[in-house]
Amino acid sequence: MPKGFLIDMDGVIYSGKDLIPGADKFINKLKEKKIPFMFLTNNSQRSRRDVVNKLAGLDIDVSEDHVFTSAMATARFLAWQKPHGTAYVLGEGGLLTSLHKNGYSLVLNDPDFVVVGEGRNFTLEMVNNAVDMILGGAKLIATNLDPSPKRAGWVNLGIKAVVSMIEEATGIKAFSVGKPSPVMMRQARKALGLSTAETTMIGDTMDTDILGGIQVGYSTVLTLTGVSKKEDLTKFAFEPDMVVNSVIDVPLP
């Protein structure tokens, strides 16, 4: 029986800068009933504190312990693979902080890993440097492979676009840690203190949130307030356990 929730944010709790109606009430019910929950975000640029502050602006009061990011998952994965290693990073904010917290040194030469996350401050010269490092033996890691939304005026290319450029230039495929990777999904569940059978993943995207949950055996709930729509379900060989109009419609244990 599911006892706790991993919850995507954009498209489930908010859309852009706007709260999705009822999302605040759902979170308040979880807190009142003392049901374990954690927000999962593939955005590696934001720190946990950044996420808490954004939610506070939507009148959702949570602590940093309720937040798990792809930056955290990436840093923990690297520390497990090679403790006290080195990284050349194309990314900002939360990713840099998480790497430092997990004992990683950020270097400009001969890194163990090249790590790609969200950011707007890295240059084509830095990408060229990353290519040389990978061709010299560094491993290529992506915090996630989220695509660009392909909308005019969007300020973030999407990591997938940057990683694709590096993959083409090196002939090396990146290992992605964020959703739907089982690496992040399992780390978050363990941080929540639940077993696989006790965990439900709530998300708005079939090929990240729902796929990720299914791959590790969680119950899954698709909300129709974000990316994936009901008519999209026929395009996938897998399906969620439940489809709801909004997160407020998710039944609680």
Q: Does 158 have pLDDT greater than 90?
A: no
**For residue 87, what pLDDT band results from cuts at 50, 70 and 90?**
very high
Is pLDDT above 60 for 114? yes
Question: Could you tell me the two tokens for 246?
Answer: 């909004």
Cα–Cα distance between 90 and 183 in angstroms, integer?
Answer: 21
Helix, strand, coil percent content, the chain, rounded in steps of 5: 40, 20, 40
Confidence (pTM):
0.93
Residue 203: pLDDT band (50, 70, 90) is very high
Q: Flag whether pLDDT at 148 surpasses 90.
A: no
Query: Which helix (H) or strand (E) is 18 found in, with range?
Result: strand 18-19
Element of type H or E holding 220: strand 219-223
Longest dimension (CA), the chain: 54
Which H helix or E strand runs over 38? strand 37-41
Run of H or E including 41: strand 37-41
Give residue 227's pLDDT. 84
The whole-number average pLDDT for the span 65-74 is 97
User: For residue 155, what pLDDT is reported?
Assistant: 62
What's the chain's length in residues?
253
User: Could you count the other beta carbons within 10 Å of the beta carbon of residue 45?
Assistant: 21
The span from the CA of 121 to the CA of 200, in Å, is: 36
- Overall average pLDDT of the 145-149 stretch: 79
Unique residue bearing structure tokens 């709801």 = 244
| Residue 88 · residue 106 · CB < 8 Å | yes
- Check whether 151 has a pLDDT greater than 70: no
Active site residues: 8, 10
Choose between 182 and 121: higher pLDDT: 182
Q: Which two tokens stand for residue 177?
A: 């840690």
Share of the chain above pLDDT 90, in %: 84
Mean pLDDT for all residues in the chain:
93
Provide the pLDDT confidence category of residue 122 given band limits of 50, 70 and 90.
Answer: confident
| Residues 23-45: tens digit of each pLDDT | 999 999 999 999 999 999 999 98
Mean pLDDT of 152-158: 69
pLDDT digits (tens, 9 = 90+) for 209-228: 999 999 999 999 999 998 88
CB 170 within 8 Å of CB 188? no
Statement: residue 144 has pLDDT above 90: yes
Handedness of CA 176, 103, 99, 50 (dihedral sign): positive
Q: Residue with structure tokens 């019910």?
A: 29
Name the strand (E) or helix (H) holding 189. helix 182-192
Q: Which residue has the higher pLDDT, 151 or 103?
A: 103
Distances 215 to 7, 37, 181, 203, 235 between C-alpha atoms, Å: 16, 20, 8, 14, 17
**Residue type, position 118, single letter:** E
